[in-house]
Chain A
Amino acid sequence: MVEITYANAIKDAISEEMRKDDNVFMMGEDIGVYRGAFGVTGGMVEEFGEDRIMDTPISETAFVGAAIGAAVSGMRPIVEIMFSDFMSVCWDMILNQAPKMHYMFGGKVNVPMVLRTASGGGTGAAAQHSQSLEAMLCHIPGLKVIVPSTPYDAKGLLKSAIRDNNPVMFLEQKLLYRTKGMIPEEEYTIPIGVADVKREGKDCTIVTYGRMVHTCLNAAKQLEEENIDVEVIDLRTLLPMDKEAVLKSVRKTKHLIIVHEAVKTGGLGGEIAASVAETDVFNYLDAPIKRLASEDVPVPFCPILEKGILPDEDKIVKAVKEVLA
């Protein structure tokens, strides 16, 4: 095992796949000598050259469209959108092109591409550079959506995403880029669509993903001191979602809290809650389901406000106690 940052785990995943498969290449704004806005691609242009680490014009529609076109014509492009908020300027590609082709062309055209993008807040970047837009993506069948929470998951899942024959949206968590974790030295992949129980517990299930996994684990640690045993499920892949893992856990703990950084209304919390409520596992609930999510506001600039709108450890601890009361 070696210790590595989340950013480097992503870089290693791409580099390993690029070394193995000449058809894998990257496109994005300032990913070459600049090393990408978050420094993920540092050193890559030196290793792979400008032909495979391609700086693009500031034309998201053009280069995301080009990624799709390259994918259907035999390549395995990885395209980086600097901030997930910028999906708005290439939304047609994400909504109407990439996810639709395989289906509407009768299964004969594959779109093996990865769209990496930096997601989430906590950086003081305010309303247009801090959003968590995963729920919008999960509303589009044909896409796969991944939000990794650790270097280990990021690397294993990204390698699977690159090898996948579908358009995969890989939402990296800005605040996690510098966090460290252990990964094996030997090669590994993690299957898409499988959740991970980050902490086993018997009293209450918390379903979460991305950066909030760590917040939930910290809250669980606090609760442990009060003899409350929380299970933390990291979905890792949001689409397709491992609902079975959620159902299994809730059947065991009888209590469900969902925590995410995205705004509450229309967020995945509702989807997860409904998935439980519409099955027989509903009958195992011994308290109402709770959702902890961002307040329904644009991400504010002031750090006090930005922190204030998000779920934190105290809010999670309180919610768990309420659910178990």
Chain B
Amino acid sequence: MKTDSKIDKALALDLLGKMMKARKFEEKVQYYFSLGMIHGTTHLGIGEEACAAGTCSALEPLDDMFATHRGHPAAVCKGIDINKMMAEIFARETGVCKGKGGSMHIADKSVGVLGANGILGPSLPLACGSALAHKKLKDGKVSLAFFGDGASNEGAFHEAMNLASVWGLPVLFVCTNNTYGMSTHISKVMKVTDIEKRAIPYGMKSVTVDGNDVMEVYNTVKEMRKYAYENNEPVLIVENTYRTSGHSKSDGNLYRTKDEINYWKERCPIKRFKERLLSEGIATQEEIDNVDKETTEIIDNAVKFALDSPYPKLEDIYDDVYAD
């Protein structure tokens, strides 16, 4: 799918800002993790920002989004409060989940972030249900589930694809195909690696895009959202991209070469988008530098906010086990 030749400047700067925010957010997390100031584990999606920014920006603000364990960029781009998200990763009481969720469970229903998920696959059935609710409630929303190429081999993927199509649910299944399930290359675990084709037996519309081209992602998802909402139909969107960071903090990158990583670093979605904006005269270097500066400030402030926040109190552990 080709992108429009003329790019709206405000949209372009917004998408660039989101990608840079996501990138800088993760770089900070990586930095503080290596200092031992963030505990647990984190799954970074450095290199995949165009998928998150393009996809989430194409949704309506209150559409529901179910993310994966590699969910930082999606949450950032869906509009979550950056301070609270950073505080969550630092396990603070002011965190978006009160310090009880952490990196793998970032959620904020008020902006349609229905949770990163520590399990592979459930985002699809959950999004089916959410879409079913929107259809019944006629509230104008659709639901979207992110998942990876790895999760597309889970039973939940196939059950949800079938259910969504047979029930006609306004749901977008977005496969962030970074070609590795942890360390295992897609070619080792799938006979047919063209994930788009998995929609065919379920009678579902599907499309593949360059996941490192933010405009192409944005335009495609925008169009598919409209289609899903208007027709009460699910859509499968495959966004091909690459994770230049390791799977998690314990990844030694033994399964791929430096050359491969460097090849993809050259195709970095942020770098590419900046070059395009400059070459097509959509934004000036100064304007881009301003975005850079602003996003750096936002992330620095978020770190400061997190570090200034208290840890949750042990006596509050029983809060929120049950809803009132």
A193 to chain B: closest CB distance in Å?
Answer: 10
Q: Quick check: B122 and A70 within 8 Å, CB to CB?
A: no
Determine the residue in chain B with the shortest Cβ distance to A107: B320
Contact with B along A34-71 (1 / 0, CB 8 A): 00000000000000000100101101011111111111
B23 to chain A: closest CB distance in Å?
Answer: 25
Q: Quick check: B109 and A69 within 8 Å, CB to CB?
A: no
Contact (A68, B162) CB under 8 Å given A74-B133, A106-B320, A108-B110: no
Contact (A61, B156) CB under 8 Å given A73-B143, A106-B98: yes
Q: Quick check: A72 and B162 within 8 Å, CB to CB?
A: no
Determine the residue in chain B with the shortest Cβ distance to A142: B321
Q: Quick check: A69 and B97 within 8 Å, CB to CB?
A: no
Q: Quick check: B143 and A69 within 8 Å, CB to CB?
A: yes
Provide the bound-state CA to CA distance between A4 and B76, in Å. 54
B157 to chain A: closest CB distance in Å?
Answer: 10
**Listed stretches A10-18, A96-104, A284-292, A296-304; interface member:** A96-104
Provide the bound-state CA to CA distance between A295 and B88, in Å. 47
B139 at the interface (CB under 8 A from A): yes
Q: Quick check: A73 and B130 within 8 Å, CB to CB?
A: yes
Determine the residue in chain A with the shortest Cβ distance to B88: A106
Provide the bound-state CA to CA distance between A73 and B169, in Å. 14
Q: When the two chains form the complex, which single residue of A65, A77, A108 contacts B160, counting CB atoms closer than 8 Å? A: A65
Q: Quick check: B162 and A69 within 8 Å, CB to CB?
A: no
Provide the bound-state CA to CA distance between A67 and B141, in Å. 17
Q: Which residues of A have CB within 8 Å of B127?
A: 69
Q: Which residues of B have CB within 8 Å of A74?
A: 133, 137, 139
Q: Which of A71-99 contact B (CB under 8 A)?
A: 71-75, 77, 92-93, 96-97
Contact (A59, B105) CB under 8 Å given A67-B129, A165-B324: no
A75 to chain B: closest CB distance in Å?
Answer: 4
B119 at the interface (CB under 8 A from A): yes
A2 to chain B: closest CB distance in Å?
Answer: 33
B246 at the interface (CB under 8 A from A): no
B17 at the interface (CB under 8 A from A): no
Provide the bound-state CA to CA distance between A70 and B96, in Å. 22
B159 at the interface (CB under 8 A from A): yes
A141 at the interface (CB under 8 A from B): yes
A133 at the interface (CB under 8 A from B): no
What does DSSP make chain A's interface, helix, strand, loop or mixed? mixed
Q: Quick check: B96 and A66 within 8 Å, CB to CB?
A: no
Count of A-B residue pairs with CB < 8 Å: 165
B243 at the interface (CB under 8 A from A): no
Q: Which of B90-106 contact A (CB under 8 A)?
A: 95-101, 105
Contact with A along B146-179 (1 / 0, CB 8 A): 0000000001100110110011000000000000
Q: Quick check: B122 and A92 within 8 Å, CB to CB?
A: yes
B136 at the interface (CB under 8 A from A): yes
B73 at the interface (CB under 8 A from A): no
Q: Quick check: A70 and B107 within 8 Å, CB to CB?
A: no
Q: Quick check: B136 and A75 within 8 Å, CB to CB?
A: yes
B45 at the interface (CB under 8 A from A): no
Q: Quick check: B323 and A69 within 8 Å, CB to CB?
A: no
Q: Quick check: B129 and A61 within 8 Å, CB to CB?
A: no
Q: Quick check: A109 and B130 within 8 Å, CB to CB?
A: no
Q: Quick check: B121 and A92 within 8 Å, CB to CB?
A: yes
Provide the bound-state CA to CA distance between A251 and B135, in Å. 54
Q: Quick check: B323 and A66 within 8 Å, CB to CB?
A: no
Q: Which residues of A have CB within 8 Å of B134?
A: 73
A117 at the interface (CB under 8 A from B): no
Please name the 9 residue pairs, one residue from A and one from B, whose CB atoms are nearest each other, closest first. A65-B125, A69-B129, A66-B129, A62-B159, A106-B97, A107-B320, A59-B159, A73-B133, A70-B129
30 sampled A-B residue pairs with Cβ under 8 A: A23-B136, A23-B137, A56-B163, A62-B125, A62-B156, A63-B125, A64-B125, A69-B125, A69-B132, A71-B129, A72-B126, A72-B129, A73-B129, A73-B141, A75-B129, A75-B136, A93-B122, A97-B117, A97-B119, A100-B105, A103-B320, A103-B321, A104-B105, A105-B109, A106-B95, A106-B96, A107-B323, A111-B323, A112-B323, A165-B323
Residue numbers of B with Cβ under 8 A of A are: 64, 66, 88, 95-101, 105, 107-110, 114-115, 117-119, 121-122, 124-134, 136-137, 139, 141, 143, 155-156, 159-160, 162-163, 166-167, 319-324
- Give 13 A-B pairs besides A63-B125, A73-B131 with Cβ atoms closer than 8 angstroms: A59-B159, A62-B163, A65-B125, A66-B126, A68-B125, A69-B129, A69-B130, A72-B126, A73-B143, A101-B107, A101-B115, A105-B105, A166-B323
